[in-house]
Every structure is written in structure tokens, then in C-alpha cells.
Structure 1
Amino acid sequence: MSLSLIFKALSDPVRRQILMMLKEQDLTAGEIAEKFDITKPSISHHLNILKQAGMVLDERKGQNIYYSINTSVFEDVVSFGMNLLKK
């Protein structure tokens, strides 16, 4: 887990919104792009940053790639934060 990659990924409001969407259900890049007023290549760029941080997983189903949230990364971040708060 690279905290710097995770915090970089979380620094962008579009990526945070993508994560909120993926919390509800797995989606394709096209389905995600429909919710934003930005280009599909921009959505792919945001998804790649989220994947590099380990926050998003992708799985091919037929001709589509579905993206899902990787909750274990968030558990690691919360654990890190809790350790910082311990005296």
C-alpha cells in the first residue's frame, strides 16, 4: 500500500465521486463517463490513477471491463490512521 498514491488519488473530486459511485455498484468506464461532463479518455485516466493506488479493481466480463471498489485498501488506510492516533 502506497499512501502517497492513495492520497494523490483522493485529492481529485472526480475520483472521489467515481469511488462513491463504485461503492454502490460495479460499473463500466462508459457507465461512469455518462455521469460526468468530461471525455471518456479523461475518465480512463482517473480510473488508471485509482487502479495504481489499488483503490479500484477491474474485471473483464465479455467485451466489457467492470470496475469495483477495493475495500481492503480503505481498511488499511483506516488502520494506519488509527495507529497514528494511539499514544
Structure 2
Amino acid sequence: MGIQETLKALSDPVRRDILEHLKQGRMPAGDIAGLFDISAPAVSRHLSVLKSAGLVRDYREGKHIFYELKASVLEETLLWIANLKEADNEEALRNDVRPHSA
């Protein structure tokens, strides 16, 4: 999964809320849908985006589909962000070391 797809999936507040709930452990799709004031098909679309981005995995148990958090895909995105931050910190240090003209 790419950084762009991950960031797109994380850009929606409903999807971020779904991930927050899944931090507590796996949940059936119906229970996830019950947490939100939007239609079950809308929640299903959000889950599909999260699954496509690799942020959740699903599996069937009997008649139920369960979802669970799969946070390992965030590693690539976090490394990219950390590298940006590091570059910004290095630039700030270079600016602080320059002699100030009086």
C-alpha cells in the first residue's frame, strides 16, 4: 500500500474514528455501523477504503464479518513523515548556527 492511499484513507474523520474503535480489538461490521449516525452502507464504504489502504483486515466467522486494525501499514507513512520532520529540524539548526549580522 502506498503513502498516498494511506493518507487518503486517514483524511476522513469517520475512518479515523473507526480505527480508534478498532484499537480496542476486533469488531463485527454491524457493531461498527451501530457506532455512527450514518447508514450501514456508508460505513461499509468507509471500511472498504480502510481495507484497500491496508489499515484493516476482515474475516468471516459464521454469518458475521469481523474487522481488526492492521497498523503495520502505517510504518511507511510514519517514516516518510519523520524524514520530512528531520529535514525541517536540520534546516532550523542551520538557520540558528548562522552568524547574525549586527
TM over 0.5: yes
Q: Does 1:19 align with 2:19?
A: yes
* Equivalent pairs, count: 87
Greater RCO (Cα-Cα under 8 Å, separation 6 or more) = 1
The one-letter code of the counterpart of 1:77 is: T
Aligned to 1:74: 74
2:62 partner amino acid: G
Distance in 2, matches of 1:76 and 1:6, equals: 9
Amino acid in the other structure paired with 1:14 = V
In structure 2, how many angstroms separate the alpha carbons of the residues matched to 1:80 and 1:61?
36
- Residue by residue, what CA displacement relative to the aligned partner does 1:6-61 show, whole Å, maximum 9, x if unpaired? 11111111000000000111111100111111110000000000011111111111
TM-score (normalizing by structure 2): 0.78
What's the counterpart of residue 39 of structure 1?
39
Instruction: Report percent identity of matched pairs.
Output: 46
Q: Distance in 2 between matches of 1:48 and 1:83?
A: 29
After TM superposition, what 4+ stretches of structure 1 lie above 4 angstroms from structure 2? none
Extract unaligned runs of 5+ from structure 1: none
- Which segments of 5 or more consecutive residues in structure 2 lack a partner in the other structure? 88-102
Pick the structure with greater CA Rg: 2
